[in-house]
Amino acid sequence: MNPQESSSPVVQAEMLIRRPVEEVFDAFVNPEITTKFWFTKSSGTLAKGKVIRWEWKMNGVWDKIFVRDLEVNRRIVIEFSDRTFMEWTFLEKPENHTFVRIEHYGFDSYNVASVNRAMDSMGNLTAVLCGLKALLEHHIRLYFIEDQNPDILVQQ
C-alpha cells in the first residue's frame, strides 16, 4: 500500500539522530534496545516475514505485528493487527548522522475515530523519536512512553 494514494490519514514523524545508520536501524530491530524507548516487551528481533508480539505494559495492551519488508539500514515495513502499516526509512547523512522518517498509514477513512487514532499515533511517534535521540546520542533513558500512563506501575 502506498500511503500517498490513500484517502485516509497518514501520520509522519521524522528526526535527525546523530548516530550511524547501522546503530539507529538496530535500535528499531533489536528489542533489547527498542524496549528502552518504546514498547516494554517483544517476542523477538524484527526480520522479514516474521510475526512478532509487542507489549506496552504501562497501557496493558499488546499487538502482533507482521514484518512485511526489511531492508537492512534502509527500510522497515510492518503491519499491525488492525491492518494499519508503519514504515521507517533511514537516510544516511554526513558525519555519521541518520535521518529517520516514520509513517503510519492504512487507517479506515477520514472519520472522527480514524483521525483521533492518527493524532494519537503522531504524538506517540514523536515521543518515540525523542526517546531514541536521547538514548543514542546522550545515553539517557527518558521514559516518555512509560510515563504516559503513570497510574500503572511499571517495573524498570
pLDDT digits (tens, 9 = 90+) for 96-140: 999 999 999 999 877 788 888 889 889 899 999 999 999 999 999
Rounded CA separation 132/68 (Å): 23
Rounded CA separation 146/84 (Å): 23
Checking if the pLDDT of 6 tops 80, the result is no
| Sequence-ordered alpha helix ranges (H) in 11-146 | 21-29, 31-34, 112-138
The pLDDT tens digits for 20-37 are: 999 999 999 999 999 999
Return the pLDDT at 9: 87
As given in the structure block, the three cell numbers for residue 48 are 522479514
Rounded CA separation 128/122 (Å): 10
In single-letter form, the type of residue at position 101 comes to: R
The pLDDT tens digits for 58-74 are: 888 999 999 999 999 99
Quick one: CA torsion of 45, 46, 49, 50, rounded to 10 degrees? 40
Return the pLDDT at 65: 97
Interhelix angle 21-29/112-138, rounded to 10 degrees, is 130
Checking if the pLDDT of 14 tops 80, the result is yes
Return the pLDDT at 152: 57
Quick one: CA torsion of 142, 146, 147, 153, rounded to 10 degrees? -130
Return the pLDDT at 150: 65
Stretch 74-78: mean pLDDT: 98
Rounded CA separation 6/99 (Å): 24
More confident residue, 14 or 117: 14
